Amino acid sequence: MFVDEAHITVRGGDGGAGMVAFRREKYVPRGGPSGGDGGRGGSVYIQADEELSTLLDFRHRRSFVADSGEPGGVDNCHGKDGGDVVISVPIGTVVLEGDATIADMSTPSARVCVARGGRGGLGNQHFATSVNQTPRFAQKGEPGEERELDLSLKLLADAGIVGAPNAGKSTLLASVSAARPKIAAYPFTTLEPQLGVVRIDIDANFVLVDLPGLVEGASAGAGLGDRFLRHVERTRVLIHLVDGALPPAEALAQLMMIEHELRAWNPALLQKRRIIAVSKQDLPQARVTLAALEQTGERVFGISAATGQGIRDLMAATYSAVIESRADERASAPTEAVLRPKPAAPKRRVLVKREGGAYRVSSARLERLAAMTDLESSEGRAFFARALARSGALRKLERLGLRAGDTVRVGSAEFTYS
């Protein structure tokens, strides 16, 4: 079964908690705090795999969670990091979050991190000061990132056959490659794209894809067009196959309809190299239709999959167009790496506001720190209060009218100010 869309949830592992411990060895005076740091949570990666051709695996598994880091140990022992999760997808998969594109997995072994693991919490050894030599609190692990992603597969092929239903696309693919698509005398026989390798010579070949038939309104969702038109975007050359059994006027209208639907879906599709072919030349009507389309001034190939007429010439012209397209892509690719200055680090803005009967603090750094601090302990609250003061948030809250007993919210954390 061919599946080209999937919705998944990914979550990085949580960081391990820091340890609260003290050295108590017989001959080590003033041992002090010795709690180790927690391990970092595992991350989730998506990687392109040449051996996959469909997103079928994601019908049965939609959630991917990396391992959490282990907590720190005594004697300053660091916790073990969590294991990463690698999700394999076919080449040509586009990773989306809402309407934003996260990654385009168009090259073999391409790899991207989609959910980072949380940092491990610091052990109490890090919080010892001259005035607090025995800290009895440690950080919790940072929560891992969680995201909902959409996977959309766009097949990678050198050439694609487009046309109306029953134009002979599947028959053409079967006659020039080892692919065996379903062929029958009724519309929409092809319900999913079919790939085949066309061999021109021993070391000359290209990948040809047969796409389900397009009908008027396909770009807006009619028929199967809106599901499969995106696969056309990855092809270098388009073969416009016209049904030779149609009268000349209807055949010309069919060709214009296909071009209109491609333009409505993506105007850039009309910039691709185009080859026009008229099928079923073993029929008398098809030869009349071919002669009429040749009057448009474009080169038109007359073919018959039943007799083999014109097939070799069509494939040779397609291969030449593919080679030209590949050369254009190499010529337009940058030959040297473009060095760009490192972007300036974003300012650590701290925003405060009233939120009902409470106060809200918005700051990426403080929100992460609040998630990692044990606000249930008095030492943890004191530590976080000092962080609020250093960031300037406390001063801003007091200007808004913060008093002892008021509720302060930072991210998902909430505590009573005292």
Least confidently predicted of 36-45, 177-186, 219-228, 268-277: 219-228
Confidence check: pLDDT of 169 > 90: no
Domain boundary among 153, 186, 203: 153
- Count, residues in the chain: 418
Q: Is residue 170 part of a domain?
A: yes
176: in domain? yes
Residue at 346 is within a domain: no
Do 163 and 147 lie in one domain? The reply is no
Final residue before a domain boundary, out of 101, 131, 153: 153
Amino acid at 118: G
Q: What is the dihedral of CA 232, 235, 236, 238, to 10 degrees?
A: -50
- In this structure, is residue 340 part of a structural domain? no
The answer to whether residue 132 scores a pLDDT higher than 90 is: no
Residues 60 and 121 reside in one and the same domain: yes
Domain assignment present for 213: yes
pLDDT, position 4: 73
- When comparing pLDDT for 341 and 6, which is higher? 6
Q: Do residues 128 and 193 share a domain? A: no
Percent of the chain topping pLDDT 70:
87
| Structure confidence by residue, pLDDT tens digits, 38-72 | 999 999 999 988 888 778 888 888 999 999 999 99
Q: What's the CATH code of the domain at 387?
A: 3.30.300.350
| Chain Cα centroid distance, residue 290 | 43
Count: domains in the chain: 3
Share of the chain above pLDDT 90, in %: 19
CA distance 30 to 21: 13
pLDDT at 227 over 70: no
Q: Do 187 and 326 lie in a common domain? A: yes
Least confident range from 191-205, 280-294, 296-310, 314-328: namely 191-205
* Residue 343 located in a structural domain: no
In a domain, 339, yes or no: no
Dihedral angle at the C-alpha atoms of 219, 224, 230, 236, nearest 10 degrees? Answer: -100
Looking at residue 304, which CATH number applies to its domain? Answer: 3.40.50.300
229 shares its domain with 295? yes
Q: 57-61, 82-86, 142-146, 164-168: which has the minimum mean pLDDT?
A: 164-168
Q: Considering the domain boundaries, does residue 358 fall inside one? A: yes
The pLDDT value given to residue 187: 47
315/177 same-domain check: yes
pLDDT at residue number 348: 65
Query: Is residue 46 located within the same domain as residue 132?
Result: yes
**The predicted structure's pLDDT at residue 347:** 53
Residue at a domain's end among 299, 332, 365: 332
Higher pLDDT, 162 or 332: 162
- Report which of residues 387 and 186 the model is more confident about: 387
Query: Do residues 275 and 387 both lie within one domain?
Result: no
Residue range(s) defining the domain that contains residue 36: 5-153
> Do 171 and 311 fall into the same domain?
yes
Put simply, whether the predicted model's pTM sits higher than 0.75 gets the answer no
Based on the domain organization, do 259 and 291 belong to the same domain? yes
Per-residue pLDDT band for 272 (boundaries 50, 70, 90) equals confident
In this prediction, residue 220 carries a pLDDT of 47
- Work out the number of other CB atoms within 10 angstroms of the CB of residue 207: 18
Angstrom distances, CA of residue 109 to CA of 11, 124, 139, 239, 315: 22, 42, 37, 30, 31
Domain identity same for 138 and 211: no
Which of 23-32, 122-131, 308-317 is the least confident region?
A: 23-32
Token digits of residue 67: 């391992």
Residues 25 and 76 in one domain: yes
Q: Say which CATH number the domain at 145 has.
A: 2.70.210.12
Instruction: Supply the mean pLDDT for the chain.
Output: 83
